[in-house]
Amino acid sequence: MSLVALTLLCALCALCARLVGSDRGPGAFVEASVWGGAIYGLGYFTGSEAFNVWFLVASCVAVWLGEMPGLGNVVGACIHHKEMNPDHAKWWQFNDRLKNDKWLAACLRGLIYGAPIGVLNPAAFMALTIAFPLSLWLASTKFISDDKEWVLSKYTPHWFISTKKPRWDKSEVIKGLLSGILMVIFSYL
């Protein structure tokens, strides 16, 4: 697989991850299916998966299942340097530590996010598990703060990074890009 094709597939992962997190589109299942299809495509082209239409469908469903448990208030707390509200905890935040420690909760949520696809592709599991909390940390840094012009902003459509919640949007783009890059790396290890 050429480096150009792998780069384009990683960029597609960034686009698809952003679309899943947007308020636009036909619905959560369709958006997650597109993201799952991109992950499957990257797995297929890196050689970690053989082409099979049922595997593609299973990848789409697995990504949708990983999205289902909800985020609670983990993302906002991490990217805006705030404390989590234990009253808004999700079912997977089953103890006080997970209800109050945003970074521990982000790591667990990354594990939950990647677990369904991990049954089908271990490289995707490792990539999504690491990319979720790492993208939140990167979006919380000064490098990607709200008041700075983001390096990709002049190359993206105006709706891609909204002015209402730019750090959230940027964290999704970063999550997708990191997922794609890590999946390529883990596929070749």
Q: Which two tokens stand for residue 185?
A: 């790396």
What's the confidence (pLDDT) of residue 100?
A: 92
Q: What is the C-alpha radius of gyration for the chain, rounded to an integer number of angstroms?
A: 16
What's the confidence (pLDDT) of residue 106?
A: 94
pLDDT in tens, 36-78: 677 766 666 666 555 667 777 777 778 778 877 777 789 889 9
> Where along the chain do its domains lie?
3-188
What's the confidence (pLDDT) of residue 79?
A: 87
SS3 141: coil
DSSP letter assigned to residue 164: S
What's the confidence (pLDDT) of residue 160?
A: 58
What's the confidence (pLDDT) of residue 142?
A: 67
What's the confidence (pLDDT) of residue 104?
A: 95
Report the C-alpha dihedral over residues 97, 100, 106, 108, rounded to 10 degrees: 20
What's the confidence (pLDDT) of residue 105?
A: 94
CB atoms closer than 10 angstroms to residue 81: 8
User: Under 8 Å CB-to-CB from 96, ≥6 apart: which residues?
Assistant: 86
How far apart are the C-alpha atoms of 145 and 104, rounded to whole Å? 22
- Comparing CA positions, the residue from 110, 133, 128, 135 lying closest to residue 186 is 128
Angle, vertex CA 43, rays to CA 37 and CA 45, nearest 5: 100
What's the confidence (pLDDT) of residue 159?
A: 54
Residues of the chain falling short of pLDDT 50: 25
Whether this prediction's pTM lies above 0.85 is answered by: no
